[in-house]
Structure 1
Amino acid sequence: MQSSGDNVFNRQLTRQSPLIIAPFFLWGTAMVVMKFLLPQTSPMFMAAVRLIPAGILLIVGGIYLGRQQPRGWQAWLWISLFALVDGAMFQGFLAQGLVRTDAGLGSLLIDSQPLAVAVMAAVLYQERVGGAGVLGLLIGILGIGLIGLPAELMAALLAGDFATVLHAGIFTTGEWLMLGASLSMAVGTILIRPVVRYADSVMATGWHMVIGGLPLLLISNQFEQNQWQFLGLWGWVGMMYVAIMGSAIAYGLFFFFASSGSLTTLSALTFSTPVFALMFSSLFLGENLTLVQWVGVILTLSSIYLVSVRGIDSDISQSMSETQEMLEVAGETVGLDHN
């Protein structure tokens, strides 16, 4: 049986582990691969392939590790809701949005979801967002804005010239689909807390992928054509990377951290996803960064630092509180022994 001190140490290790950045690295590179694959396949089929094999891998891995299968109607109800929102809706909106938007703007809109997570986490879970956290979130929004928006539109936004922005047609069908993906991911991040009350986090993540991928596969079967006929060897390699690295491993790590750490801190790290996406799209797709985009990268990394500092301060305060409680309990125990 672990002591309270061990629990505190494990919680600190979980929240401050370097692996916490891995899901966002994998998602960023997966976005590049998905954009590359779209001319060779159909969006809903790609979304289904990203979810279902990854979910099966997580379930099989969970069984191998001795994880408990979900039990009871409450567990399956929460997993099904989780699957609908974070599986079918998020991946469906994302895949369809990628067809109609460029990678930079798509990443910008999807990665605006930490704002919704911060608000919902504060209301539902009483998570505190301090001054550094708020500043970090605002800087992050500005940073990914510089990364994803054209310079003239960014200048119009900063000047408050919304007529120019609306006239440019920034919020077309593709952008609204990306906003739908962003909101779906935010709600899914919030849902993981009640999900893990009734089911193991690894098994719940795996089952939500399988259940969420089935409607996408059905839609693809009914409305899409030539889903795999034009996929070559590298196309299937890309599909495997998106499914295994960009889903099974990335989602497993993300929801493990989400179930045990600060939702606002974790979701704010999503700002790094477009940074990784742009870096690798520059390397493999020939998309070069402008000076304005590099400024956005610097601001984004600065926002991650600010939010991380907020998280460290919060964790230190919580650890001090837990240590104080342990000392009080020890004092009461000594007093009982003396009596």
Structure 2
Amino acid sequence: MLVTALAPAIWGSTYLVTTELLPPGRPLLAGVLRALPAGLLLIAVTRRLPKGSWWWRSVVLGALNIGAFFALLFVAAYRLPGGVAATVGAVQPLIAAGLSAALLGDRLTLRTLLSGIAGVVGVSLLVLRANAQLDALGVAAALGGAVVMATGVVLAKRWTSPAPLLATTGWQLTAGGLLLVPVTLLVEGPPPSHLTGANLLGYGYLALIGAAIAYGLWFRGLRALPPTSVTFLGLLSPVVATALGWLVLGQDLAPVQALGAVIVLGSLAAAQIRRPAAAPTTAEPEPAHQPSSPEPATAPGARA
């Protein structure tokens, strides 16, 4: 669980890298250069291509977890303040819990529901501002991003690939990156003709650390943990982003934001608690005691 938590913690650094190293106004290009090179690298390393039904499954999972999610995130980021987008996106664990109950047969508990609500409240205290403006299309995009990501997480749990983890991760990153290419060209136009060293460093970080490593850890956790537990770990991203803004960029950290971070961490911890296995209600009757017959006399060596 701690290893899986590294993935959303890494994603929390995306805001810092984007604002400090990447060219402004090109979020979709950042999504393409984050996903596609990482996916192709993992495919080259593992030398495995999908087989049978995993051709279309990889496209579906790549679209949900990468392509559609990045595109909707882009719309939400442009039409909503960051705090509103993050708060709406924080409903993802609740959506994943409902989908897990419907598709995987997982039990939807009251503790999970309360933890999810507390997570939304904590994120809103952490990042939401009083002067935030709402936009219907932006809210719909943020909610759609939460839905497609939660659906991708649950389907990734339902469809267990026989291939190595890094190969499956590479398929999804490549499929999602390829789906983003035409959208990026249509919305943002061709890539900039000149990229600085800082730009290349930022794109390299997002591809290698933010995609190849982080998504590998994320999908590894999905193979071992319930999908609802994994999606709750995603609430770490706004906490890490806020902490980095305070430590690196010198942004103010109000007491209410600290309270929000505490609530988020508390909801995350509460969601990971698993009910212990029930003890058997009845014990098997012990066999009736039978008097043992005298042991025949044997030599010490034979008895040994």
TM-score between both structures, scaled by the size of structure 1:
0.75
Mapping of residues 266-305 of structure 1, within 5 Å:
266-305=230-269
1:294 shift after superposition: 1.2
Find the partner of 1:30 among 1, 9, 14: 14
1:172 shift after superposition: 4.2
Structure 1: unaligned runs, 5 residues or longer = 1-15, 153-167, 322-327, 329-339
1:106 shift after superposition: 2.7
Which residue does the alignment assign to 2:292? none
Find the partner of 2:51 among 48, 57, 71: 71
1:278 shift after superposition: 0.8
- Which 10-residue stretch deviates more, 221-230 or 24-33? 221-230
Q: Is the 8 A contact 1:111 1:273 kept in 2?
A: no
Cα distance in 2 for residues equivalent to 1:180 and 1:285: 30
Q: Is the 8 A contact 1:40 1:230 kept in 2?
A: no
Cα distance in 1 for residues equivalent to 2:205 and 2:74: 16
- Which 10-residue stretch deviates more, 53-62 or 20-29? 53-62
1:45 shift after superposition: 1.4
Find the partner of 1:256 among 209, 216, 220: 220
**Distance of aligned partners of 1:41 and 1:141 in 2 relative to their CA distance in 1, 3 Å threshold:** closer
Q: Is the 8 A contact 2:94 2:113 kept in 1?
A: no
Residue by residue over 1:265-312, the C-alpha shift from the partner in whole angstroms, topping out at 9 and shown as x without a partner, is 11111111110011112233343222211110010111111112x23x
Sequence identity percentage: 28
**Distance of aligned partners of 1:69 and 1:230 in 2 relative to their CA distance in 1, 3 Å threshold:** closer
**Distance of aligned partners of 1:96 and 1:105 in 2 relative to their CA distance in 1, 3 Å threshold:** same
Residue by residue over 1:105-146, the C-alpha shift from the partner in whole angstroms, topping out at 9 and shown as x without a partner, is 332222321111000001111212334333322211211121
Number of matched pairs:
282
| Secondary structure of 1:127 counterpart | coil
Which residue does the alignment assign to 1:161? none
Which residue does the alignment assign to 2:168? 204
Q: Is the 8 A contact 1:75 1:198 kept in 2?
A: no
Q: Does 1:233 align with 2:159?
A: no
**Higher helix share goes to which structure?**
1
Query: Which one-letter code corresponds to 2:265 in the other structure?
Result: L
Structure 2: unaligned runs, 5 residues or longer = 285-304
Cα distance in 2 for residues equivalent to 1:80 and 1:147: 35
Query: Which one-letter code corresponds to 1:71 in the other structure?
Result: K
Q: Is the 8 A contact 1:48 1:217 kept in 2?
A: yes
**Distance of aligned partners of 1:171 and 1:281 in 2 relative to their CA distance in 1, 3 Å threshold:** same
Residue by residue over 1:46-98, the C-alpha shift from the partner in whole angstroms, topping out at 9 and shown as x without a partner, is 111111011122223334xxxx54211x1111111112222210111223433
Q: Is the 8 A contact 1:107 1:274 kept in 2?
A: yes
Which residue does the alignment assign to 1:317? 277
Find the partner of 1:113 among 68, 77, 92: 92
Mapping of residues 132-147 of structure 1, within 5 Å:
132-147=111-126
- Which 10-residue stretch deviates more, 261-270 or 41-50? 41-50
TM-score between both structures, scaled by the size of structure 2:
0.83
Cα distance in 2 for residues equivalent to 1:184 and 1:209: 15
Residue by residue over 1:207-255, the C-alpha shift from the partner in whole angstroms, topping out at 9 and shown as x without a partner, is 1111211132223234424633453211211111111111111111111
What is the root-mean-square deviation in Å for CA atoms of aligned residues? 2.6
Cα distance in 2 for residues equivalent to 1:116 and 1:277: 23
1:35 shift after superposition: 4.2
Cα distance in 1 for residues equivalent to 2:45 and 2:125: 40
Which residue does the alignment assign to 1:243? 207
Find the partner of 2:129 among 150, 174, 192: 150
Q: Is the 8 A contact 2:80 2:135 kept in 1?
A: no
Query: Which one-letter code corresponds to 2:120 in the other structure?
Result: I
Which residue does the alignment assign to 1:11? none
Cα distance in 1 for residues equivalent to 2:77 and 2:20: 10
Cα distance in 1 for residues equivalent to 2:157 and 2:181: 27
